[in-house]
Structure formats: structure tokens, C-alpha cells
Structure 1
Amino acid sequence: MSITQRSDSIISYFDGYINASTTLNQFFKLYEKALEIRNEKEIKADHDCINSLPVLKTPSPMEKQTSELYTRKLFTRFQEELVSTLTFMASKVDDEGEVTTYRVSKFGEDNKGHCVGFNVVDMRVSCSCHMFEFSGLVCSHVLTVFRVTNVLKLLFHYILKHWTRNAKSSVILGSHGTDLFNSYLESHTVRYYMLSHEALKLVDEGAGSLDSYNEAMASLDEATEKVVSATKSDGKFSNGHIKGESVSNGAHVNHCTDDHKGCSAEHLPKEDFDRRISELTQELECANKKCEVDHTHLLTVLKEIEEHKQQLSVQVNDIKLSMMDDF
């Protein structure tokens, strides 16, 4: 904000309270009155913001989500960015490793596009317009990439605390953050890439030596047992078998292992034996993929907490500057 703009802002703030003949003593009294009225307006605005929701323009889950989180003023700006994505197209231009690069441009304006890099593993995006870095609001280019990659809700690390309805709360990472994180874990693509990323880490470390290999396999066996147990308690196996049927099969396998009189692998037909081995192998693969979810969840949340600590001072400065701009 320029000096002239700041001066105009201050004048408009006291407009109707002071004039050229106002004494210094009167000025301080009127200043207190102006602050009191301003506080009343803020309280009313907070009340309206908390107890009412703005009109939605699209059926987008992201629009509904942000209407419940953002202040009314910020949501209006976000809504404009979201609606404008309907005029944008995104084309994949590079796909190396974890980061996929898209070129986003308006229909018929290919020469005026912006580049958006999307890391699907840690769900981070960067746009050449740098709107989020400057204003704390996600741009329409990033939202376009989210749309074409089926990210239906705004990731919690892109919802800055001081733009939310609960900005006066001291909680940085609350229930909204957890809900948002869980929401994008519902995406099969996200889970696949996150699990693949963590699995490759385990492969690299476990293949380093015989000891690390044995340790990795032991950990996988233990994790597999826990995941299979948890899957049974949910009512069904991931391959669609009913819990009772799966438990029965599991008991049957254990019985075959412990009691050779009742059943033995040697007495099973080869086709049934091969089919059972295939089923167990598939269940094991599914269990290995799922066992990393909780671990990944915890690491991501801890990472976000550390990042919030680092950004806290920046957010405080932003709020101070915003308050100065209002004057």
C-alpha cells in the first residue's frame, strides 16, 4: 500500500468523526468511539459469518468445504477463483518422478498459460503465478489441476489459519485439519502413490544387507498380521470375502497346519491348492499396501505441525500488516 493509499484509508476510517476544528482532546474521545463501533461491526460480522453460510454457485465439494471454513470475504474471493476454473484447461507437459507438471491456460489463450507442478506423494503444488505465496489464497490454476486430478477437497495445508472463521482460536491443527487430511486419503490415487513411495523406501533400506532384509521381512509379517486382523474386524476382506467365511478359511488353514490328521496340503487337489495360495498371496499384497497408511498419516501430520511452527511468525506478521492496512 502506498503512502497516499494509507493516508486515504486513515481518513476514511475517521470520516464522520473528526473535522478541521476537532481539538486533540476531542480527537482521543472520538478515536475511542470509532474503535468501539469498529469492534461492534467486527462482532456482528463474526456472528453472521459463524451462523450463516454464503450461497454456493457450484456442486463442488471444495466450495461447500471452504464456505464452512473461510471468512465470508475470503470465501467470496476463493469462490471467484473456483468458478473461473470452468474456463481453464490443463494439459500434462512433464511427468518425472513424483512431480507432474501441467500447463494451465484459458480456452483459446494457450500462449498465456501458467505452469503448475503437482507432487502427488506429499500433495504439494506450486504455480508460476505465485498467488498462494503472496496472498495465502489458492489460485484458479492450481484449482484447475485439482479438478482434473480428482482432488475434491482443499488440502488443509492450503487453508491458512488467519483466513478462517476460527482465526481467533489458538488451535493451529484441529479437527478440520484431520478431517481434510482424511478426505484426500479417500482418493485411491493418493493412497496408491503414498504407499508406493513408502514401500520403495522400505525396499531400498531392506535390501542393503541380510540383517536389514530379515528385519524388514519380520516387520512386514508383523504388520500383515495386524492389518489382516483389522480387516477382519471391519466385516470383509479387501478381496470381498465375508468375514465369517474368511475366518472360517483361516481357521481351516490353521487346522491344516496344526493337525495333519484332519487335513494336509498334500491331500488338497492341486488346483485348489494353487488357488488358495493365490488368494493368500493377494491378501498379503493388499495387507502390505495398507499397513503403511497409519505410518504415513502420522509422519504427514508431524511434518505439518513443524511447518506450522515455522510459518507462525510469518502469519503473525501478515495479520499485523493486514491490521495496519485497515487503518
Structure 2
Amino acid sequence: MSSAGRSESTTNFFNGWLPITTGLYSFVTKYEAALIEVYERESTEVFTSEYIYRLVGPHQALLKDAAKIYTRTMFQKLQDQFDQVVCFVVIKRDVEGNVRQLTVKSHSGRAESFELQIDLEKLDGNCGSKLFEYVGLPCCHLLKVFSKYDILKIPKAFIMTRWTIGTNKFSRLYDESQLEVDNL
């Protein structure tokens, strides 16, 4: 099997399992074993995300909220962003009703600044770093603005469902009798 015209992820998936000379029968049995291992690894990750408590300081309300929302891996990435919050300062540029246009600048010696816009009533907005648009997590600049305006829970507009705990529950909870051949 070649991966020409397809993603290299297929090749990466099979690299540890199958040599190039594998026959069809051997491929099918080893493929099944590989899927079982992936399923078990994902099940372990789901269990860890749902039932292993993450340690968060008592003064970190945003992180406490994130610990209840995000998978373990994404929580760690958000925690890395949260650790950078202290390196920035928020400067107001313009206020139009509930919408604030802000600049978040680094005060740690880096010449770094980002333009933000946030609606304090709807609790949505955007940042010039575009981390949320690319990765699906609020960036340290947005987290800085949340803390400045005493937003103690991550707004729904900044929570991407694919990174939340329990997203894959369908794969564990479906009932095969509910699946009809016509729907597949």
C-alpha cells in the first residue's frame, strides 16, 4: 500500500505493525490487533480525563473550570497558556458599549503585542494570535483579558467541543440495534 495522494498518517499508523511484504490475510489480522490497541489506548485516555483529578491552585478559577471541561492533554496545553499570562499587560484602546478593543503587550522584554476584541455581554471575541482559530484553545492573551475582567469560567464561545471530556462517548454508548442499514 502506498500513501501517494493520501495523508502520511496512514503510513505512520502501519509502520510499527506491518512490513511492506505483508500478505492480505496477515494484514487483516494485524490491522485488527492494531485497532484494538488504539481503542484500548484511547479508552485509557478517556478514563484518565474523566476520573483522574487535576491539581489546580485555589486561586485559579479559570483553570478549575478548564479541568472540568477539557481532556487531560488539552488541559495541559491550556495550563501552559495560563502560565504565560503573567508576562502580559492589557491596555484599553477603545470601548463601544460592551465591546472592548484591547492591546495585550508583553512586559517581559519581548516586543510582542496582540490586538483583541471582546464583547463582555455575549462573552465572545477574538485575538490577533489566532490560537483559538488554529488549535481550538484560548490563548494566553485571551486568558489575561478574562482575568482582568473577572471572568471566572471559560465562555462557551471559547470551548471547542472536540477537546472536551466525553466527546467520544457515542463510540462507547451506542446500541447496535438503533443503527439501521439504511442509516449507514
- Using the size of structure 1 for normalisation, the TM-score is 0.47
Q: Which runs of 5+ in 2 are unaligned?
A: 171-184
Q: Which runs of 5+ in 1 are unaligned?
A: 171-327
Identity %: 24
**What is the CA RMSD across the aligned residues, in angstroms?**
2.3
1:111: how far off? Answer: 4.4
Give the structure with the larger helix fraction. 1
1:64-90 CA distance string (max 9 Å, x none): 111121001111111111111011111
- Name the residue aligned to 1:292: none
SS at match of 2:15: coil
1:100-158 CA distance string (max 9 Å, x none): 11110211557420011121222222111222122221111111111111112111232
1:39-80 CA distance string (max 9 Å, x none): 111111111221102333673111011112100111111111
Bigger Rg over Cα: 1
Distance 2:44 2:113 in 1: 41
Matched, 1:126 2:126: yes
1:168: how far off? Answer: 3.0
Equivalent residue letter for 2:114? H
- Name the residue aligned to 1:29: 29
Distance 2:16 2:108 in 1: 50
SS at match of 1:46: helix
1:9-66 CA distance string (max 9 Å, x none): 3333223321133112211221111011111111111112211023336731110111
Distance 2:44 2:100 in 1: 45
- Name the residue aligned to 1:65: 65
Q: 1:115 to 1:58 in 2, by over 3 A?
A: farther
Give the structure with the larger strand fraction. 2
SS at match of 1:14: helix
1:273-288 alignment, distance < 5 Å: none
Distance 1:4 1:91 in 2: 48
Structure 1 stretch 26-35 or stretch 117-126: which is displaced more? Answer: 117-126
Distance 2:86 2:31 in 1: 47
Distance 2:73 2:37 in 1: 20
Distance 1:51 1:131 in 2: 28
Distance 1:35 1:169 in 2: 18
- Name the residue aligned to 2:145: 145
- Name the residue aligned to 2:42: 42
1:162-181 CA distance string (max 9 Å, x none): 211121357xxxxxxxxxxx
- Name the residue aligned to 1:104: 104
